[in-house]
């Protein structure tokens, strides 16, 4: 009993600090009066919490100029804002051939980005980790900061990841990503690395800053070379027992689909089917816009194929919206009319279908959001490092 009583004031201070910091994050500036109204705390408590957060480095006090022509009206209201450069987060997209790292401040503004190519798909774990680390260090240099100021890292891989961050390595391709990245970056830099499936991070990114902003029942399809889905239900990511929720291997058994090949892959395959050279999805869609008959036929085939894929998702999950994402999204907008028109043939619960505005940055955007969620939930336990120099 004495221990519980002793812990109560500390717990109360933590709850108060989280409430104040949470509101300050949500706005450009906050006055003491606004903080009192939002948190229910007294002025003395609000100011005490703010002083503590200033000492810790999370917030800063903003200038409070007197209203013009109103001298002698009393002390101006104290105003507080988030110190968005108190620390940084990293978002990493680790594909089979390339890895990209992006550095963001505590508002999620990207300040530096860098990419590295892997020498081959099937390379030793140490070499893959080395390329990822190099991309991170280059991105940090571009952002003008250093590894010691990173508070959390979100990392997306093209393999299922369970709720504990363990890679499901039951297929050879998935096993290529089971390289011990979390422990390696922890050892190199002391970073907390949050490993997640790339399509799941795409869903987080799209719901944060894409066409699915604020949608609770959302599916994002990474639709480039192979299809993979990130699924959000009631605002929460679905993982499944081993992290394989959203894997699209079942499409092998769907009539009129037959594989999990993505839009870019299908465009190449079908453009080369007549004996000519294969073409990118962008080129096929450009040729279709110019009236090329062969390209128009490919456009129709891809539209029907994607309508069947999305209908299967709608029948299983019943999302409000399905977003086509990844690099192919830049040119996939031409598919939307055909997909939307066909969906009622295949499902009685057709979702709204859009393309993502985030392009090939969708996974890094989601990885940044994932890292920010961790920082925001654990801010009072994190130690901020001083800027270099």
Range 2-82 classified under CATH 1.10.1270.20: no
Task: Return the domain boundaries, the chain.
Answer: 2-82, 88-202+363-381, 212-357
pLDDT on residue 389: 52
Whats the size of the chain, residue-wise?
A: 389
Sign of CA dihedral 336, 338, 341, 346: negative
What H or E segment, with its residue span, contains residue 346? helix 336-346
Residues 227, 221: Cα–Cα separation, whole Å:
6
Query: Measuring CA to CA, how many Å separate 118 from each of 223, 277, 284, 348?
Result: 22, 27, 28, 44
Classify domain 212-357 at the CATH superfamily level: ATPase, nucleotide binding domain (3.30.420.40)
Number of Cβ within a 10 Å radius of residue 25: 18
Q: What is the dihedral of CA 174, 319, 263, 160, to 10 degrees?
A: 0
Residue 356 contacts residue 362 (beta carbons within 8 Å): yes
pLDDT on residue 387: 72
Query: Measuring CA to CA, how many Å separate 29 from each of 77, 78, 79, 208?
Result: 12, 10, 6, 21
Residues 178, 354: Cα–Cα separation, whole Å:
32
Residues 130, 185: Cα–Cα separation, whole Å:
10
pLDDT on residue 295: 94
CA 130 and chain centroid, separation: 23
- Decide if 88-202+363-381 and 212-357 have a common fold: yes
* DSSP symbol at 89: E
Q: Is 15 helix (H, G, I), strand (E, B) or coil?
A: helix
Residue 358: burial class (beta carbons within 10 Å; 0-12, 13-18, 19+)? buried
The closest of 202, 205, 204 to 224, measured between CA atoms, is 202
Domain 88-202+363-381: give its CATH architecture: 2-Layer Sandwich (3.30)
pLDDT in tens, the chain (389 residues): 344 444 578 888 899 999 999 999 999 999 999 999 999 999 999 999 999 999 999 999 998 765 444 555 566 789 999 999 999 999 999 999 999 999 999 999 999 999 999 999 999 999 999 999 999 999 999 999 999 999 999 999 999 999 999 999 999 999 999 999 999 999 999 999 999 999 999 999 999 999 999 999 999 999 999 999 999 999 999 999 999 999 999 999 999 999 999 999 999 999 998 777 888 999 999 999 999 999 999 999 999 999 999 999 999 999 999 999 999 999 999 999 999 999 999 999 999 999 999 999 999 999 999 999 999 999 999 989 877 65
* DSSP symbol at 242: T
pLDDT on residue 6: 45
Sign of CA dihedral 335, 338, 340, 343: negative
């Amino acid at each position: 009993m004495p221990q519980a009583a002793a812990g109560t004031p500390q717990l109360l201070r933590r709850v108060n600090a989280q409430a104040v910091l949470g509101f300050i994050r949500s706005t450009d500036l906050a006055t003491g009066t606004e903080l009192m109204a939002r948190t229910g705390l007294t002025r003395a408590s609000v100011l005490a919490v703010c002083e503590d957060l200033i000492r810790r480095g999370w917030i800063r006090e903003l200038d409070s100029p007197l209203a013009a022509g109103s001298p002698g009206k009393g002390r101006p209201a104290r105003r507080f804002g988030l110190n968005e450069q108190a620390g940084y987060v990293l978002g990493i997209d680790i594909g089979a051939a390339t890895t990209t790292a992006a550095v963001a401040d505590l508002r999620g503004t990207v300040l530096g980005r860098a990419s590295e190519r892997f020498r081959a798909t099937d390379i030793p774990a140490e070499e893959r980790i080395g390329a990822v680390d190099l991309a991170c260090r280059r991105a940090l240099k571009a952002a003008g900061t250093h590894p010691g100021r990173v508070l959390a890292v979100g990392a997306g891989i093209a393999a299922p990841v369970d709720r504990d961050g363990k890679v499901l390595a039951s297929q050879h391709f998935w096993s290529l990503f089971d390289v011990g990245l979390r422990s390696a970056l922890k050892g190199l830099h002391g970073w907390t690395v949050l490993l997640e499936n790339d399509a799941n991070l795409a869903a987080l990114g799209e719901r944060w800053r894409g066409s699915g902003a604020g949608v609770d029942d959302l599916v994002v399809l990474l639709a480039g070379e192979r299809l993979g889905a990130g699924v959000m239900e009631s605002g929460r990511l679905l993982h499944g027992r081993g992290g394989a929720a959203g894997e699209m291997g079942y499409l092998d058994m769907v009539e009129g689909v037959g594989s999990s090949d993505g839009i870019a892959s299908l465009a190449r395959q079908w453009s080369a089917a007549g004996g000519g050279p294969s073409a990118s999805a962008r080129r096929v869609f450009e040729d279709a816009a110019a009236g090329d008959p062969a390209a128009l036929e490919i456009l129709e085939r891809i539209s029907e194929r994607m309508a069947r894929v999305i209908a299967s998702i709608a029948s299983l999950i019943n999302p409000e919206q399905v977003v086509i994402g990844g690099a192919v999204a830049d040119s996939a907008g031409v598919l939307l009319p055909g997909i939307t028109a066909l969906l009622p043939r295949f499902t009685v619960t057709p979702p709204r279908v859009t393309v993502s505005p985030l392009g090939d940055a969708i996974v890094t955007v989601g990885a940044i959001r994932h890292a920010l969620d961790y920082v925001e939930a654990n801010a009072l336990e994190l130690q901020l490092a001083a800027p270099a120099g």
